[in-house]
Amino acid sequence: MNKSDLIDAMAADAGISKSAAKAALQSLTDNVAGSLKNGNRVSLVGFGSWSVSKRAARNGRNPQTGATIKIAAKNVAKFKAGSDLSKAVN
């Protein structure tokens, strides 16, 4: 399922227009990203939670040349599925 399929499904399930569903989905993604950017955790009970994890700097290899390169430290977003989502998948 891609973004447009999700918007279509949201509109059909909620009985709203596609433009309203698109705005709702955009609001969700913007608010989750904004919260994570501020270092906060986002949790939807039963569905899952997003958090930020720090990845340390490390050495890597260029696969073409084999040369050692320095990979910078960065923050990454993580998602952990909640119990209801895990049960639905299994």
Strands 58-61 and 68-71, bridge-based pairing: antiparallel
Look over the chain and give the mean of its residue pLDDT values, rounded to a whole number: 96
Q: What is the CATH number of domain 41-90?
A: 4.10.520.10
User: What are the residue boundaries of the structural domains of the chain, listed by start?
Assistant: 1-40, 41-90
Tell me the percentage of the chain whose pLDDT exceeds 70.
Answer: 100
Per-residue pLDDT tens digits for 4-42: 999 999 999 999 999 999 999 999 999 999 999 999 999
At 87 the pLDDT is 95
At 37 the pLDDT is 95
pTM, full prediction:
0.79
- Could you give the residue ranges of the DSSP H alpha helices within 1-90? 3-14, 18-37, 83-89
Q: Which is nearest to 49 in space by CA: 83, 88, 82?
A: 82
DSSP structure class, residue 26: H
Q: Which is nearest to 26 in space by CA: 14, 39, 12, 10?
A: 10
